[in-house]
Structure formats: structure tokens, C-alpha cells
Chain A
Amino acid sequence: AQSVTQLDSQVPVFEEAPVELRCNYSSSVSVYLFWYVQYPNQGLQLLLKYLSGSTLVKGINGFEAEFNKSQTSFHLRKPSVHISDTAEYFCAVSDWDQGAQKLVFGQGTRLTINP
């Protein structure tokens, strides 16, 4: 079974600074990877996903992530954050169970932007 580790539970940064949120997954022959964001008092929404091809994936709101097969990592980055990026971020890997796709989530990283 797949597993995901998010290495930081909380990341505080100043506004307009760059940020990296780290994610490692267990190895597999082929893998689909996702980053979701949860704004306060809301459900999760997709930021970006890696399926195949280019290892640099661009998502919404200026975020991007790099798939690194040798390091089994899928770190999320943004060059300049805004107050509105304050949220919890979840990395997830796709797994198959009983004939259906399911997602295995990491523990989450709470990103706090300070003015």
C-alpha cells in the first residue's frame, strides 16, 4: 500500500517570501500524485496533479510542484506568497483498492503567512 509523509506540520513565512512544502511518498512502479489545499472552513480543492510527462507541474494560484522519482518526492513551491495563501496543504498519492481508485493523504502542512 502507498504512503505519504509531509515533513513539516507547520510552515510560517513572511508575505512575498518563497515557500516550499515537502512531500515524500512510498515507491511504486507508477504513481499519480496530487496536492490539495484547504482554506479555513472549507473542503479540499485540487491545486495540481502529476500524471506523467514533464516533472514540473504547474497548478492554480501560482503554485508548482516537482516530481522526483529517484528521491520519491513531490515538493510544492511558490516563489512569492500572499496572505490569501494561508491554508492547510495536503499531498496525496493514488492507490488502487477493490477495483477503485482511492487517495492516500499525508498529515497536512499548515502554511501561515505573516505580514
Chain B
Amino acid sequence: DVKVTQSSRYLVKRTGEKVFLECVQDMDHENMFWYRQDPGLGLRLIYFSYDVKMKEKGDIPEGYSVSREKKERFSLILESASTNQTSMYLCASSLGGTGSDTQYFGPGTRLTVL
């Protein structure tokens, strides 16, 4: 079974702090994704990566950056956290190469910015 793990289930940070969310997958997947989930808005793509050291902006990249130094690890960085970044953050991975790939999700990190 594919396993996607996220470093924290719950996180509370102060406005202006730098925040790191870590995601690790154990199935040698090419593609990795970061989403945020808000009630009534579904999942919105922040950034994705289809190879080590490669990154592409998703639909809502403002205020975020990412890092992928190793194939299995994809980090989301909030350079200066703000209250409107309070949300559930979900990481996912997929094999890569075809449009029919299933994405496998981690359990999510619920971030609260005070």
C-alpha cells in the first residue's frame, strides 16, 4: 500500500512565523502535490512537482513556496504566516506519466495561524 505521511496533524503558529509542512511518500512516485482544503471551496492546488528539484505553481501559490530536494519528500513553506492561511493542508502523490493516475493523500495538517 502507498503511504503518504505528513509531519504534523495539528499545528498552531503566530502571524509572521515561518512554517514548514513536510510530506513523505514511500512508493517512488514521480508527482507530488500540495492542496489546501476550505469548507465550501473543495481542494485547491497550491504547488506541484513532477520531478526532483522541479516545481510548478498551482491555482493559489501566493504566500507559499515549496522544496523538493529528494524524490520522496515535498515541503510546503509559508514564509510569513498570516491568519488567512489558517486551513487544512493535504499532500498527495501519484505515479506520474498518465492522466489516469490515482493520487494518494496524506492525513492532512490542520494549521491555525493566530
Residues of A within 8 A of B (CB): 6, 9, 32, 34, 36, 41-46, 49, 51, 90, 94-103, 105-108
Q: Which residues of A contact B43 (CB under 8 A)?
A: 44, 90, 103, 105
Residues on A with beta carbons closer than 8 Å to the beta carbon of B45: 102-103
**Is the pair A43, B56 in contact by a Cβ cutoff of 8 Å?**
no
Q: How many residues of chain B have a CB within 8 Å of chain A? A: 28
Asked whether, in the complex, the Cβ of B58 is within 8 Å of the Cβ of A102, the reply is: yes
- How many Å lie between the Cα of A94 and that of B48 in the bound state? 14
Known: A42-B107, A43-B4, A44-B105. A101 touches B42 (CB 8 A): no
Bound form: Cα–Cα A108–B40 in Å:
7
Residue in chain B with minimal CB distance to A30? B99
Interface contact A94-B42, CB-CB below 8 Å? no
Residue pair A94, B90 in contact (C-beta under 8 Å)? no
Question: With the chains together, A86 CA to B47 CA distance in Å?
Answer: 30
Binding site secondary structure of chain A: strand
Closest to A93 in B: B99
19 contacts between A and B (CB under 8 A): A9-B40, A32-B99, A34-B102, A43-B90, A43-B106, A44-B92, A44-B103, A49-B100, A49-B102, A90-B42, A94-B100, A99-B50, A100-B31, A101-B99, A102-B48, A102-B58, A106-B42, A107-B40, A107-B42
